[in-house]
């Protein structure tokens, strides 16, 4: 058996084994009983035939009276033949069985010095007992099947209980929270070995997580500190009115690069670990879209693209602000990157936020891998292929749904369902 849980399979194996053993025993008993009945009947008929012949030779003038299940016939003349039942008249010497079931007769015929001796034994009572015995065996087999199934299920529960308890303990494990040892006193050696291996594996996981958290924290601090210093210096330089326009443009480019790098750092840190999100809050959706679009304004103007934020200013959602902002800025950045002309529209129809672009669109055969890490459907633009992977990971973490389709009039439509 390959289907069902372990307890069911063990119970079925025990029940089938018990039923097979009981069934074989019942078949053996029934066969032996049937053979024993046949032997006993043949012995009775043979003995009665010997007694009939001896009685007739010693007292030929006295007829042997019939027994409860026996009939005796001595045939010396045609008149004697006429007294014999028609079914027995034509029988030759030897043993015979006439009829079947309850009406079955065992007949023995011998011929000695021209005299025929017939002994007819009514085997009906034996057949009745045989049928009753058969029913008893079937009843016992049915009872054994039920008992075997119940006993097997109970025994399987005893056998698999420790495994079930161990599985429940593993299911309760949280890598972020210390837990009691899975190895316990009284466990079977095999279960204890498995529990010990799981405890060691969990300890290694906790050590790896601790190192990962330490690395992520250090990387976040070490990377953001210089980026913050760069951004602050750029702001101070941009405030200096004495700088020529060419220098100011270069400073602006450096500031934009620093912002993009900060965003990439956040992406990599989020993708590299299961980052816990903050508690949900009420967010003004139109304002969040404007904030997400702000770092992309220069690229939007450089490409001469239109941007339409059609989200009602009164629309609010209760979400994690940072998570939703990260999703929107990645979707907008993706739309701006791959749109050469036309524009980008953001629409809101609760609970779906739609971002349409007028870019080249995404072939249907590429959409299945669109949210894979490092996958880029086109060589156009720059990037590491992480933006949409970040989007999918955040959506899965927050219970949102992200879908991609063709936009009306051409291009791509990303639909983000919140809730």
CA 55 to chain centre: 81
CATH numbers and ranges of domains, the chain: 6-146 (no CATH), 177-276 (1.10.287), 277-417 (3.30.565.10)
Residue 41: per-residue pLDDT:
82
Residue 355: per-residue pLDDT:
92
CB 199 within 8 A of CB 205: no
Residue 263: per-residue pLDDT:
66
Residue 1: per-residue pLDDT:
41
Task: Give per-residue burial for 204-228: e unless 16+ CB within 10 Å, then b.
Answer: eeeeeeeeeeeebeeeeeebbeebe
| Alpha-carbon dihedral angle through residues 200, 202, 208, 212, given to the nearest 10 degrees | -170
Residue 45: per-residue pLDDT:
86
Report strand pairing: 281-284 vs 94-98.
Answer: unpaired
Catalogue the long-range contacts made by 362-368 (C-beta closer than 8 Å, 24 or more residues apart). Answer: 362/404, 362/412, 367/404
SS3 57: helix
Is 180 buried (19+), middle (13-18) or exposed (0-12) by CB count in 10 A? exposed
- Beta bridge partners, 198, equal none
Is 234 buried (19+), middle (13-18) or exposed (0-12) by CB count in 10 A? buried
Residue 415: per-residue pLDDT:
92
Number of Cβ within a 10 Å radius of residue 3: 6
CA distance 90 to 86: 8
Q: Residue 282: which of 129, 418, 408 has the closest Cα?
A: 418
pTM equals 0.47
Residue 369: per-residue pLDDT:
74
SS3 32: helix
CA distances 134 to 31, 32, 128, 139, Å, are 10, 12, 10, 9
Length of the chain: 419
Residue 380: per-residue pLDDT:
45
Residue 384: per-residue pLDDT:
41
Looking from the CA of 97 toward its CB, the CA atoms found within 13 Å total 10
Sheet with 115-122: strands ordered across: 70-75, 115-122, 105-112, 94-98
Rounded to 5°, the CA angle 49-51-54 comes to: 110
Handedness of CA 200, 202, 207, 211 (dihedral sign): positive
User: What DSSP designation does 77 have?
Assistant: S
User: What DSSP designation does 133 have?
Assistant: H
The series of mean pLDDT values per 10 residues for the chain, 419 residues long, is 62 80 82 81 86 85 80 86 84 84 81 88 78 82 83 77 77 71 78 82 80 73 79 83 82 79 68 59 91 84 89 90 86 88 91 90 78 57 60 85 87 89
Residue 417: per-residue pLDDT:
93
Residue 176: per-residue pLDDT:
64
């Amino acid at each position: 058996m390959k289907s069902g849980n372990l307890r069911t399979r063990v119970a079925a194996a025990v029940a089938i084994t018990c039923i097979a053993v009981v069934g074989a025993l019942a078949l053996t008993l029934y066969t032996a009983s049937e053979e024993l009945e046949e032997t006993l009947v043949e012995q009775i008929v043979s003995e009665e035939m010997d007694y009939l012949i001896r009685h007739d030779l010693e007292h030929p003038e006295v007829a042997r009276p019939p027994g409860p299940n026996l009939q005796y016939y001595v045939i010396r003349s045609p008149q004697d033949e006429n007294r014999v039942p028609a079914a027995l008249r034509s029988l030759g010497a030897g043993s015979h069985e006439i009829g079947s079931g309850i009406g079955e007769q065992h007949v023995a015929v011998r011929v000695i010095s021209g005299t025929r001796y017939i002994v007819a034994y009514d085997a009906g009572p034996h057949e009745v007992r045989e049928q009753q015995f058969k029913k008893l065996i079937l009843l016992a087999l049915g009872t054994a099947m039920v008992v075997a199934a119940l006993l097997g299920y109970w025994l399987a529960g005893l056998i698999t209980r420790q495994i079930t308890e161990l599985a429940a303990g593993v299911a309760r494990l949280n890598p972020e929270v210390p837990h009691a040892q899975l190895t316990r006193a009284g466990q079977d050696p095999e279960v204890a070995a498995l529990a010990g291996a799981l405890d060691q594996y969990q300890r290694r996981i906790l050590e790896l997580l601790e190192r990962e958290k330490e690395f992520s924290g250090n990387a976040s601090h070490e990377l953001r500190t210089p980026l913050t210093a760069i951004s602050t210096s750029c702001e101070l330089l941009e405030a200096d009115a004495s700088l020529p326009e060419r220098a100011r443009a270069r400073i602006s480019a450096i500031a934009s690069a620093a912002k993009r790098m900060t965003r990439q750092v956040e992406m990599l840190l989020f993708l590299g670990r299961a980052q816990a999100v903050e508690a949900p809050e009420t967010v003004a959706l139109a304002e969040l879209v404007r904030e997400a679009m702000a770092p992309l304004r220069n690229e939007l103007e450089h490409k001469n693209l239109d941007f339409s934020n059609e989200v009602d200013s009164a629309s609010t959602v209760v979400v994690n602000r940072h998570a939703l902002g990260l999703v929107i800025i990645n979707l907008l950045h993706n739309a701006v990157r791959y749109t050469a002309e036309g524009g980008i529209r953001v629409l809101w129809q609760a609970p779906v936020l739609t971002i349409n672009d007028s870019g080249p669109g995404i072939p249907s055969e590429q959409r299945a891998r669109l949210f894979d890490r490092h996958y880029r459907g086109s060589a156009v633009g720059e990037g590491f292929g992480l933006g949409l992977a970040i989007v999918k990971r955040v959506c899965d973490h927050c219970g949102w749904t992200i879908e991609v389709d063709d936009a009306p009039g051409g291009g791509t439509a990303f639909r983000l369902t919140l809730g």
